[in-house]
Amino acid sequence: MNKMEEYKLEKPDLNTIDKASVLRKFTENQRKYIPFILNASEPEYLYWDKLKHKTIPDDLKREEFWYLIRQIRQLSSRPTSIKAENGDFFTWLRLTYTDEFLHKIDVHTGGQIFAPYEAIKEESRQKFIARGILEEAIASSQLEGANTTRKVAKMMILEHRAPRNSSEKMIINNYNTMKSLEQDYKNKELSIELLFEIHSMLTKDTVPVNEQHRFRKNVDEIVVRNDKTIAHVPPKEEFLNSEINRLINFANDKEEGMFTHPIIKAIFLHFWIGYLHPFTDGNGRLARALFYWYLLKKGYWTFMYLPISSIIKNSPVQYANAYIYSEQDGLDLTYFYDYHIRKIVQSLEEFKKYVNKVNLENKQIDITLGREIILNDRQKQLIHFLLSEAQEGYVTVTSHMSLNNIARRTAFSDLKQLEQKELLKSRKEGIFTKYYVSNKLKELALKPVAIES
């Protein structure tokens, strides 16, 4: 293994400050200090590198204010079940902004919170779940280095095309795993055998067979790299082997202790796998898969709408830092918890925008086509899909079959009818017949239509 420097957080020197004086000032000026203290943790839980640039009480130095923040955080935090290699436990501080969000999720587990104005009907549930699984599979793989565009990956999955390289294999493995979580694994308790099964599905044909169905060993010399530095050195195999059973008990709700909200617990599982890093490769994908597994197991099926990795993929440095802050700032897991909750909220907002956009576009297309041409719902959905893909969009019999879960004969009939109505045009490309939007359909779709709000 090449020698690399381990990344260390910038930390102020707190040995030079008068700690008793800082605490005395806080006691005497609580009303003045509290707004600054709250702003240090919400709407984002800040570490020193960001906090030092914020406005602070005028009678404190920045190092003094940071010391005060850390003292208050430590006094207010509670232990988690996650043990660090040094024997201490990670802690976390419940942030008040998350309470309302978690309550809404609990009240609307059936899905209403994911669709304002009841935009999602029951018949659309599987369609949106399928979209979520597909997008999560692609984004989670890209987070791990899969070098394939979303468009190519999407068509590979929809057309059942065999993957051509390791990046595409990673994506199809992720896709198959997410489907298995939703259809099967959610009904099973976690075990070492199930961990091995999920991991081997995620890494099929992308890691050596002798690195599957076993945990990493010290001789594997696995580290997590971050550019030119080491972001995380996983614990020794002896610690891993002793703690993995505790993780499994935690995942199966067999540990005694205070109640932890399922969404928070799923986030902790995500972090715990990342920290233990039980395998030589595929740990990030496994961590995100177990996040979904636990939520599905607890009845939060609506999370399958949300490809959270698509949001995380846009902030990979923040994602990595959430791990680093949590490990290096006194084992404070709040950094990771805060980051993940904010990304869930962001993905929910993005999904709401997507649903509203699709419904508005679909209503316009339905009204336009409905006046002149009668189509079945599958054909309308197909047209919606093609128009959303712009000029490069096309569909095959196989992809139409996959999108709608129908027989090949039915898919072929749908496409031929649309071609006969001059809404689609077909073109033979290799062994595939591809169907594209016709000029007639483009004109119909662009025709101004009055839509009732």
pLDDT of 129 reads: 79
Q: Report how far residue 369's alpha carbon sits from residue 250's, in angstroms, rounded to the nearest whole number.
A: 53
Q: What is the DSSP string of 128-194?
A: HHHHHHHHHHHHHHHHTT----HHHHHHHHHTTPPP-SHHHHHHHHHHHHHHHHHHTGGGS---HHH
| Rounded Cα–Cα distance for residues 365 and 356 (Å) | 14
Does 117 have pLDDT greater than 50?
no
The SS3 call for residue 452 is coil
The pLDDT, as a whole number, for residue 361 is 72
The pLDDT of residue 126: 67
Cα atoms found within 13 Å of the Cα of residue 313, Cβ hemisphere only? 21
User: pLDDT class for 386, splitting at 50, 70, 90?
Assistant: confident
pLDDT value, residue 453: 45
3-class SS of residue 197:
helix
pLDDT of residue 286: 98
Tokens of 29: 């000026």
As a whole number, mean pLDDT of residues 67-71 equals 97
Global pTM reads 0.88
Q: Chain-wide mean pLDDT for the chain?
A: 89
CA-closest candidate to residue 257, choices 75, 77, 81 = 81
Q: Which of 203, 186, 195 is nearest to 141 (CA)?
A: 203
Mean pLDDT along residues 321-348:
95
Confidence at 1, pLDDT banded by 50, 70, 90: very low
Whether the bond between 43 and the residue before it is cis, its omega within 30 degrees of 0, is yes
Residue 447 has pLDDT above 80, yes or no: no
Mean pLDDT over residues 373-383, rounded? 81
With vertex at residue 145, the alpha carbon angle to CA 347 and CA 226, rounded to the nearest 5 degrees, is: 90
Instruction: Measure the CA angle with vertex 322, ends 335 and 266; round to 5°.
Output: 75
Q: Where are the beta strands (DSSP E) in 309-372?
A: none
Non-local (6+) Cβ contacts of 280 within 8 A are 207, 211, 216, 220, 222
Q: Do the beta carbons of residue 25 and residue 58 sit within 8 Å?
A: no
Q: With cut-offs at 50, 70 and 90, classify the pLDDT of residue 435.
A: very high
The listed range with the strongest mean pLDDT (7-16, 148-157, 188-197, 301-310) is: 188-197
Q: What is the mean pLDDT of residues 91-111?
A: 80
Q: Given pLDDT bands bounded at 50, 70 and 90, which one contains residue 392?
A: low
Read off the tokens for 152.
């190519």
User: Quick one: pLDDT at residue 34?
Assistant: 95
Q: Give the type of residue at 166.
A: S
Tokens 């050195």 correspond to what residue? 233
Beta-carbon contacts of 34 under 8 Å, excluding residues fewer than 6 positions away, are none
- State what percent of residues in the chain have pLDDT above 90: 64
What local confidence, expressed as pLDDT, does residue 225 receive? 87
Choose the most confident range, by mean pLDDT, from 199-213, 367-381, 429-443: 199-213
What type of residue is 19?
A: K
More confident of the two residues 112 and 198 = 198
pLDDT at 313 over 80: yes
Query: Counting beta carbons within 10 angstroms of the beta carbon of residue 265, is it exposed (0 to 12), middle (13 to 18) or buried (19 or more)?
Result: buried
Rounded Cα distance between 263 and 342, Å, is 12
Comparing C-alpha atoms, which of 383, 126, 438 is closest to residue 374?
383
Specify the DSSP element, H or E, that contains 23.
Answer: helix 19-28
* 23-44 average pLDDT score: 95
Predicted pLDDT of residue 108: 61
User: Which range in 240-249, 301-310, 367-376 is most confidently predicted, on average pLDDT?
Assistant: 240-249
pLDDT top residue among 376 and 343: 343
Question: How many alpha carbons lie under 13 Å from residue 9 in its C-beta half-sphere?
Answer: 20
C-alpha of 428 from chain center: 38
Q: Which residues of 287-312 are buried (b: 16+ CB within 10 A; e: fewer)?
A: bbbbbbbbbbbbebbbbbbbbbbbbb
